[in-house]
Amino acid sequence: MTTMTLAKALNAGLRKAMEDDDKVLVMGEDVGTLGGVFRITDGLQKDFGEDRVIDTPLAESGIVGTAVGLAMRGYRPVVEIQFDGFVYPAYDQIVCQVAKLHFRSQGRVHVPMVIRIPFGGGIGAVEHHSESPEAQFVHTPGLKVVACSNPADAYAMIQQAIHSDDPVVFLEPKRLYHSAKADVDESAPPAPLWQSRVVRPGSDVTLVGYGPTVSTCLDAATVAAEEGRSVEVIDLRTLSPLDLVPVQESVRRTGRLVVVHEAHVTLGVGAEVAARVTEECFHSLEAPVLRVGGYDTPYPPARIEDAFLPDLDRVLDAVDRTFAY
Amino acid sequence: MTTMTLAKALNAGLRKAMEDDDKVLVMGEDVGTLGGVFRITDGLQKDFGEDRVIDTPLAESGIVGTAVGLAMRGYRPVVEIQFDGFVYPAYDQIVCQVAKLHFRSQGRVHVPMVIRIPFGGGIGAVEHHSESPEAQFVHTPGLKVVACSNPADAYAMIQQAIHSDDPVVFLEPKRLYHSAKADVDESAPPAPLWQSRVVRPGSDVTLVGYGPTVSTCLDAATVAAEEGRSVEVIDLRTLSPLDLVPVQESVRRTGRLVVVHEAHVTLGVGAEVAARVTEECFHSLEAPVLRVGGYDTPYPPARIEDAFLPDLDRVLDAVDRTFAY
Amino acid sequence: MTDPVFGPAPEQAADPELVQLLTPEGERVHHPAFDLDFSADQLRGFYRDMVLVRRLDIEATALQRHGELGLWAQLLGQEAAQIGAGRALRPQDFVFPTYREHGVAWCRGVDPVQLLGLFRGVDQGSWDPNEHNFALYTIVIGAQTLHATGYAMGVQRDGAVGTGDPDRDTAVVAHFGDGASSQGDVNEAFVFAASYNAPVVFFCQNNQWAISEPFERQSRIPLYRRAHGFGFPGVRVDGNDVLATYAVMQAALQRAREGQGPTFVEAYTYRMGAHTTTDDPTRYRLSNDVERWKLKDPIARVEAYLRRNGLADDAFVAEVAQEADVLGERMRRECHALPDPAPRDIFSRVHVEQTPELAAQQAAYDAWVASFEEVG
Amino acid sequence: MTDPVFGPAPEQAADPELVQLLTPEGERVHHPAFDLDFSADQLRGFYRDMVLVRRLDIEATALQRHGELGLWAQLLGQEAAQIGAGRALRPQDFVFPTYREHGVAWCRGVDPVQLLGLFRGVDQGSWDPNEHNFALYTIVIGAQTLHATGYAMGVQRDGAVGTGDPDRDTAVVAHFGDGASSQGDVNEAFVFAASYNAPVVFFCQNNQWAISEPFERQSRIPLYRRAHGFGFPGVRVDGNDVLATYAVMQAALQRAREGQGPTFVEAYTYRMGAHTTTDDPTRYRLSNDVERWKLKDPIARVEAYLRRNGLADDAFVAEVAQEADVLGERMRRECHALPDPAPRDIFSRVHVEQTPELAAQQAAYDAWVASFEEVG
Ligand SMILES: Cc1ncc(C[n+]2csc(CCOP(=O)(O)OP(=O)(O)O)c2C)c(N)n1
Ligand SMILES: Cc1ncc(C[n+]2csc(CCOP(=O)(O)OP(=O)(O)O)c2C)c(N)n1
Ligand SMILES: [Mg+2]
Ligand SMILES: [Mg+2]
């Protein structure tokens, strides 16, 4: 049992995966000597060498595209995209190549790679450094997409993602890198990667988040409890496949559901959760599924990002509104 | 009044827009001498010259990126992406530059450009030639996204899109280019661009489509009518902004809604329609909103694309299922 | 940067040098840097390869005309470039093709019938890339050049370069066209290959056209010089000369295997056919040009050389023609017999580990199909 | 391809030639192709510009340390490159910067305080690009090089090249860094610029670092040679020499304005500070290197030259220093006063024509804010 920040947990998980399998490579901009701009790969190049921790030229399509080739040669590349907003130059390689190679080859080609993306806002950054691009990957068949929300999950999930024979987009809530600290039991058997999880049980309304919004949901549950409302909170963890089994089970009890993410509301993951849960639990719902997310505007300047991001008040307001139907 | 295919209507609309405003440029791969692989720009270079109808190097990011610069210099570039599956190399320019420049500049910079994308399947093509990438653009604030479904709309909408001071992603149902034929009244006042439209009134259930699926919905309505079911069909036309006013008005009457598109179901536009309509019409809905779309697999080989694409049977089945609740 | 074989990068202003070993008239010429002795068997082999590959191409084109294929991308005119490049490979080398490398596929032992699936619409590539060391065709222009570079970086990590063991040292080939040279991905591949000195050969078939766009739209200087801007050698070879292409590729592949890094080879050739069977080149190019290039036919010059030097006679030529007939007949027969895929299989091929979502979609699909069977 | 001024592309094997007009010691040297006579006023102007711009940079760095800015990208060490490039512009020229071109912004008349907004988080660029012919900063590496090329294509279409009218003929500048040279977009910009012979100058400040990655990771040959691979001239200039940078840029801009097409100018310089204020360069580079580059300081050499030649005295230097103090004081004061944007405005800035959806989100936002006011 070690106390770790989320950043440190990812670092430890990466290290463990590299120790366990010498086919695991880390690559990206500044991941070597510098240890990444967030220090997630700190010390790895020193210990595993330049061949396994690869500082790349400044070109995201090049990074992902060469990682595809490395994967075809039997390696397991773990690619770091420096910030969410810089994944787009690699979009073609991710969506048309990484996602499709297994399918196109009738299962003959495996592309076991992990694309790590620090995502989300709330760190006072300049533009393009606070994006939430996950919906687009969830919409793309052939990719798996997960998001961690706490150090213990981060430690286990990064290893599980690396171990997966399928390509995984791995979302890291950058806002929590250094603020989220927790005891991590490195020897505990990890929860299955492809499952969401109830993180706080409740009976009146269901709140669903992932990545950075899980803690917002938990805070909301605490406040709501003071007002006598019992809120169940679910951490989706996996966005593709989208595990809605616990959500549906919960909604059948509570009849009310609010989904929270930082991505823009329109066609954010909440849209899919709402559509599916409504289809599955139509007669259980007392109110429509409500969504709290970033507005449908570009991410605003940092001084007003708090107004843009879903916060405690907006989540609680949505909870209230589900009781107004 | 002229009888035109959808392809010819687009060609005529482009020609008209170029005649009306000499700042309008057409650019893309093979749009000049060849007139585009679908001949949508046929004859334009001959009549407007190489400076206004620009054959570009083979690089989509380059095409869109230089179009941004041309727009900043006061031009109105109409960019052709040769096939849906080749828009991804330009994704960064579209999502991070085209979509954001107006916002970033506090309204000072205008990027009046149109990105034409032949989209959808059903033409027996090889891979990457039958994609439906619209959801990703709808999820991106700053872009407007429209889809035409018939020659008259095509003729009017392309001109309206070019006339818009905002960037517009213009989706063309390539399957209908040469098969959809209709009388086009070039002098008729066009319907507003940013509105969806009831194309067949009905009272029992609402069917929503856009682009290539509108005709599927109309066919379904005809068959359903024979079975005594009155189906209202709505052509969305505009996906961003998403005009759901006629849909909600319809659903309040019918209580049942099915959305049909070729894009993958998960986080396709149908998810947003379902989430919003459920929120707005919660107490009117007799059944959950159902979605019929491409499965969540990569687009399959052409020989089995008919099984992948939403067809009459699947739409009718979904209609039936809405009556089972 | 000066290379013992490729020499220093030519001056930008100088005329492009075209490496040639066999003239269009079938005369053997010599080149100071790229010269090889070819055995009679080798020469006859090249002839046979090219004739068979041309037949493969003609046959597939005909199959498309008869509605058996949805599309076909012809290689007509590019036989020498592809056979020269393909025959210079060692078994352990790995190739990343575009959609037009039927001749290279042939050299890699991919059955011609297997090439038809993608174009017939029954699959998206039916051979096992690892069995043939030949990746699937890539349609998104340029994407495969990065895969090749990454694969070559893997080869380096495996210690399979510069060991001196001819069965171990491995080169990787990235195929692409003149049009593709404009794509960001291709130029990023140059950056990565140069930065890591990866054992990859960039083999560009400059067939003068990217659909309707002439080569000049993509570059105002000869393409092989692009490499000089990235710090590695580039050379232009007569792509209609199978001997020269073979010789240059052999040298370039050997450089890669020895750990000397990337090379750019521009095979200067001509797309004699349409871009694909849906294209109509009369809209954008002069038949005169095509006629001029006919005089440089890759097969005719080898046949002329073989005959003139008594290395082949009518009997040999007839024998190869006969072999081509057999191949053509088999392609027709087996193409018709290619089975459609089972729609239900698409759900289980998306991932190595199927997701519950797709399992559910598969089950729903099965039930849907069964519902018709019940009715029917 | 041979250019009267830039000459033919240098041999790949040759040593890179560094254009220099003023040595680090402040001695005036001459160059056969790029030489100019500078007036005393011009030289003093360069000095003043560089001192003020350095002060601007130091002040902004301090503002960041005091929590007034979220981030700052320092230009320290790159003053000569930016002032040389900026002062060579004519009013009608148009510039596409990265995020570090504070010196160029200065030359374009953008108020230093306006540069702070992006880094303070109150806006994403506050100046009017069309007022200053200076686009907004671009953070996504390389994207602006395509915008610059497209803008230059627009200039061509406007007939604003090669007319001989000095107030009409227009050049466009694309700024980028050594790291950016690896991006697909930048190389596509080279392709388009060459293909259309667009009036654009690619001005690369090779400051040796892309965050922690040394220049050698991006290219194994001098960067200016990249242009030769695309068929247009490239030249390396001492980026710490304001005279040389000015002279080379003037020539390159003039080429563009005259319709002779694109040029690549590599300003060889050094990032003396951290990448940004959040970076810690001690983790990846030797302080020795930094010390060596200190000897090449861009300002010191101009001051030495001015003093040695009696073109400036203590009074002049003090006067400029005083001006810098005033600037610094004003920046501090006005930075504090920069207002936060109104959240409700984000909904009306997304499009020229607001959508009903955003109007509704704006109304809901207003109601939400009002609900707190009622409560409070
Ligand atoms: C990214 C992308 N854009 C556009 C296309 C459409 N397209 C297919 S082939 C082709 C021309 C390719 O020219 P070249 O690279 O010279 O290869 P060739 O066909 O001549 O062998 C184009 C534009 C594509 N397949 N991928
Ligand atoms: C597409 C993209 N990828 C990554 C980044 C993160 N990033 C910001 S600056 C930088 C290094 C840029 O180096 P260079 O081009 O040499 O310019 P310099 O900062 O030295 O001026 C990186 C990697 C980015 N802004 N955009
Ligand atoms: Mg070609
Ligand atoms: Mg740099």
Which of D70, D217, D361 has its CB closest to that of A125? D70
Q: Which residue of A has its CA nearest to C154?
A: A70
Neighbours of chain A (3+ CB pairs under 8 A): B, C, D
The share of chain C scoring above pLDDT 70, in percent, equals 95
Which residues of chain C does D140 touch, with a Cβ-Cβ cutoff of 8 Å? none
Residues of chain A below pLDDT 50: none
Instruction: Give the separation between CA A165 and CA B108, rounded to whole angstroms.
Output: 48
pLDDT computed for residue D16 by the predictor: 65
Q: In the numeric block, which tokens belong to residue D16?
A: 């890179």
**Percentage helix, strand, coil for chain B under 3-state DSSP, each rounded to 5:** 40, 20, 40
Which residues of chain B does A243 touch, with a Cβ-Cβ cutoff of 8 Å? none
Which residues of chain D does B68 touch, with a Cβ-Cβ cutoff of 8 Å? 146-147, 150
* Cis before B241 (ω within 30): yes
Which of A71, A107, A243 has its CB closest to that of C349? A107
Query: Is the Cβ pair D13, C13 closer than 8 Å?
Result: no
**How does pLDDT run across D127-169, given as a tens digit for each residue?**
999 999 999 999 999 999 999 999 999 999 999 999 999 999 9
Query: Is the Cβ pair D188, B109 closer than 8 Å?
Result: no
Regarding the beta carbon of C140 and ligand 1, being less than 6 Å apart is answered yes
pLDDT tier for residue C17 given thresholds of 50, 70 and 90: confident
Going along chain B from its start, the domains and CATH numbers come out as 2-184 (3.40.50.970), 197-322 (3.40.50.920)
Closest Cα to atom 20 of ligand 2: D210
Atom of ligand 1 nearest to the CA of C176: 15
Instruction: Give the separation between CA C304 and CA C299, rounded to whole angstroms.
Output: 9
> Burial level of D287, CB count in 10 A (0-12/13-18/19+)?
exposed
Spacing, Cα D208 to ligand 4 middle (Å): 5
pTM of the model: 0.97
Query: Is the Cβ pair B165, D128 closer than 8 Å?
Result: no
Name the closest ligand to CA C278.
1
Phi-psi region of B106 (alpha: psi -120 to 50; beta: other; left: phi over 0): left
Q: Residue C124 in contact with residue C84, Cβ under 8 Å?
A: no
D202 pLDDT above the threshold of 70 = yes
Strand ranges in chain B using DSSP code E only, listed in sequence order: 2-5, 24-28, 53-55, 76-80, 114-119, 144-147, 168-173, 181-184, 197-200, 205-209, 231-235, 238-240, 257-264, 290-294
Q: Euclidean distance between the first and final Cα of chain C, in Å?
A: 72
Which residues of chain C does A68 touch, with a Cβ-Cβ cutoff of 8 Å? 146-147, 150
Regarding the beta carbon of B91 and ligand 1, being less than 6 Å apart is answered no
pLDDT tier for residue D4 given thresholds of 50, 70 and 90: very low
Instruction: Give the separation between CA C251 and CA C256, rounded to whole angstroms.
Output: 9
**What CATH fold (topology level) applies to the domain D2-341?**
Rossmann fold (3.40.50)
Name the closest ligand to CA C208.
3
pLDDT computed for residue D15 by the predictor: 54
Sign of CA dihedral D268, D273, D277, D282: positive
Q: How far is B98 from chain A (nearest CA, A)?
A: 12
pLDDT computed for residue D7 by the predictor: 43
Regarding the beta carbon of C207 and ligand 1, being less than 6 Å apart is answered yes
- Of C230, C249, C222, nearest to C190 by C-alpha is C230
Pairing of strands B53-55, B24-28: parallel
Active site residue ranges of C: 271, 275, 284
pLDDT computed for residue D182 by the predictor: 98
Active site residue ranges of B: 129
Instruction: Give the separation between CA B248 and CA B57, rounded to whole angstroms.
Output: 45
**How does pLDDT run across C340-353, given as a tens digit for each residue?**
999 999 999 999 99
Q: In the numeric block, which tokens belong to residue A222?
A: 């605490």
pLDDT digit string (tens) for chain B, length 325 residues = 899 999 999 999 999 999 999 999 999 999 999 999 999 999 999 999 999 999 999 999 999 999 999 999 999 999 999 999 999 999 999 999 999 999 999 999 999 999 999 999 999 999 999 999 999 999 999 999 999 999 999 999 999 999 999 999 999 999 999 998 999 999 999 999 999 999 999 999 999 999 999 999 999 999 999 999 999 999 999 999 999 999 999 999 999 999 999 999 999 999 999 999 999 999 999 999 999 999 999 999 999 999 999 999 999 999 999 999 8
Q: Which residues contact C296 (CB under 8 A, 6 or more apart)?
A: C24, C240, C270
The pLDDT of C202-229, averaged and rounded, is: 98
Q: Which residue of B has its CA nearest to A269?
A: B267
CA distances from B94 to A207, A294, B64, B79 (A): 34, 20, 7, 12
Q: Which residues contact A184 (CB under 8 A, 6 or more apart)?
A: A1, A2, A3, A4, A9, A12, A151, A152, A155
pLDDT computed for residue B212 by the predictor: 98
Size of interface B-C (CB pairs under 8 A): 114
- Of C160, C178, C278, nearest to C219 by C-alpha is C178
The pLDDT of C169-177, averaged and rounded, is: 98
Atom of ligand 1 nearest to the CA of C275: 19
Phi-psi region of D125 (alpha: psi -120 to 50; beta: other; left: phi over 0): left
Query: Is the Cβ pair B65, D188 closer than 8 Å?
Result: yes
Query: Is the Cβ pair D8, C13 closer than 8 Å?
Result: yes
pLDDT computed for residue A1 by the predictor: 86
Spacing, Cα D275 to ligand 2 middle (Å): 9
Q: Which residues contact D262 (CB under 8 A, 6 or more apart)?
A: D152, D190, D193, D194, D197, D198, D199, D200, D201, D202, D227, D232, D256
D243 pLDDT above the threshold of 50 = yes
**How does pLDDT run across D69-105, given as a tens digit for each residue?**
999 999 999 999 999 999 999 999 999 999 999 999 9
Regarding the beta carbon of C178 and ligand 1, being less than 6 Å apart is answered yes
Instruction: Tell which one of D78, D266, D275, D293 to mutate to probe ligand 2, the residue whose CB is within 8 A of the most ligand atoms.
Output: D275
Tell me, yes or no, if D47 is annotated catalytic.
no
Query: Is the Cβ pair B69, D352 closer than 8 Å?
Result: no
Atom of ligand 1 nearest to the CA of C207: 20
Any B CB within 8 A of D338 CB: no
List the single best residue of C100, C115, C139 to mutate versus B (max B Cβ within 10 A): C139
Which residues of chain C does A241 touch, with a Cβ-Cβ cutoff of 8 Å? 355-358
Closest Cα to atom 13 of ligand 1: C210
- Phi and psi, residue A118, nearest 5°: -65, 125
pLDDT tier for residue C376 given thresholds of 50, 70 and 90: low
Regarding the beta carbon of A58 and ligand 2, being less than 6 Å apart is answered yes
Regarding the beta carbon of C271 and ligand 1, being less than 6 Å apart is answered yes
pLDDT computed for residue D376 by the predictor: 54
D8 pLDDT above the threshold of 50 = no
CA distances from B165 to B24, B77, B104, D354 (A): 12, 11, 16, 11
Query: Where is D59: in which H helix or E strand?
Result: helix D40-65
pLDDT computed for residue D375 by the predictor: 64
One-letter identity of residue A189:
P
Size of interface A-B (CB pairs under 8 A): 130
Query: Is the Cβ pair D188, B107 closer than 8 Å?
Result: no
Q: Which residue of A has its CA nearest to C118?
A: A104
Q: Residue D29 in contact with residue D20, Cβ under 8 Å?
A: yes
Mean pLDDT of all residues in chain B?
98
One-letter identity of residue D155:
V
Closest Cα to atom 11 of ligand 1: C210
Spacing, Cα D178 to ligand 4 middle (Å): 5
Regarding the beta carbon of B29 and ligand 1, being less than 6 Å apart is answered yes
Query: Where is A54: in which H helix or E strand?
Result: strand A53-55
pLDDT computed for residue B1 by the predictor: 86
